[in-house]
């Protein structure tokens, strides 16, 4: 059996999972995998190709034509969809509005989980998402479940999106987050839920440095 270390980070939308995951990967020299980016890239492909989310045959065919790759530069995760860099486009609202519905589809999840498990087979990795500690890596050495006050989460995402989306409103973001949380926690397929052995990390009142130290204190025992 391989003895690589897997850190699984799950939690609600815009809780800072990827910020923490990237900081951990940088500090520990682990590989960072943003599983949400994979679902976003699939949603983008479905949007561009007018895939009907009720049509299983169309979905199966589309999944065969989707090739995703990660490129890590400076511990920032870049994703390509059929060799096209889509890291920026997948963060836009038209994708955010669609992604939860796409991520709820059984065949989409089966295809993504398979790829995710392959990525974590032999290397030390930090992966963030919604089902990483429950479905993708139930045996991960460290599982963190992140949460934060919904208002704080919306404000953080607003600041992030405003420079490239000057017309966006805080209300729109708040509603989008609430909608995604609802869809992610109530869907039939792998709903967002805390694994029994996951450590809760509520970062409402924590700085990034503080949350990093908290997470490191749980990982370091496995690195001895
Ligand atoms: O983390 P994110 O906001 O980029 O995720 C985008 C969407 O994908 C989100 O609505 C939930 C879904 N997702 C999922 O269902 N499972 C994962 N492992 C990661 C993301």
* pLDDT score recorded for residue 75: 63
- Which residue of 21, 33, 35, 156 sits with most ligand 1 atoms within 8 Å of its CB, as the best mutation to test the pocket? 35
Inform me whether the pLDDT recorded for 1 exceeds 60. Answer: no
* pLDDT score recorded for residue 2: 64
**What is d(CA 13, CA 160) in angstroms, rounded to the nearest whole number?**
14
Give the percent of the chain with pLDDT over 70. Answer: 97
The arithmetic mean of pLDDT across residues 98-110, rounded, is 95
Of the pLDDT bands very low, low, confident and very high (cuts 50, 70, 90), residue 211 is very high
E strand map for 37-189: 68-73, 76-81, 84-85, 125-129, 142-147
Encoded tokens for 99: 């992604």
Inform me whether the pLDDT recorded for 103 exceeds 70. Answer: yes
Ligand 1, pocket residues at CB < 6 Å: 13, 35-36, 39-40, 99-100, 103, 129-132, 180, 184
Domains and CATH numbers, the chain: 6-223 (3.40.50.300)
Q: What is the pLDDT of residues 108-132, one digit of tens each?
A: 999 999 999 998 888 999 999 999 9
* pLDDT score recorded for residue 120: 87
**What is d(CA 196, CA 180) in angstroms, rounded to the nearest whole number?**
23
CA of 9 to the centre of ligand 1 (A): 12
Q: What is the pLDDT of residues 40-61, one digit of tens each?
A: 999 999 999 999 999 999 999 9
In Å, what is the CA distance from 38 to each residue of 74, 84, 213?
Answer: 19, 13, 28
Inform me whether the pLDDT recorded for 77 exceeds 80. Answer: no
């Amino acid at each position: 059996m391989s003895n690589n270390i897997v850190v699984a980070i799950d939690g609600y939308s815009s809780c800072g999972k990827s910020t923490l995951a990237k900081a951990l990967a940088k500090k520990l020299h682990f590989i960072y995998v943003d599983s949400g980016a994979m679902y976003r890239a699939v949603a983008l492909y479905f949007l561009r190709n007018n895939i009907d989310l009720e049509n299983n045959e169309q979905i199966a065919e589309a999944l065969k034509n989707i090739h995703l790759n990660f490129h890590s530069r400076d511990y920032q995760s870049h994703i390509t969809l059929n060799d096209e860099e889509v890291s920026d486009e997948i963060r836009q609202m038209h994708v955010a509005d669609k992604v939860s519905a796409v991520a709820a589809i059984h065949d989409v999840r089966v295809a993504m989980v398979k790829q995710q498990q392959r990525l974590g087979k032999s290397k030390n990795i930090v992966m963030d998402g919604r089902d990483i500690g429950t479905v993708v890596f139930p045996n991960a050495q460290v599982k963190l479940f992140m949460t934060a006050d919904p208002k704080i989460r919306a404000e953080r995402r607003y600041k992030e999106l405003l420079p490239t989306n000057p017309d966006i409103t805080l209300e729109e973001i708040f509603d989008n987050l609430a909608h995604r949380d609802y869809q992610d926690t109530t869907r039939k397929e792998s709903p967002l839920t805390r694994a029994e052995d996951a450590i809760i990390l509520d970062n409402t009142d924590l700085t990034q440095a503080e949350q990093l130290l908290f997470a490191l204190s749980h990982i370091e025992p496995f690195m001895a």
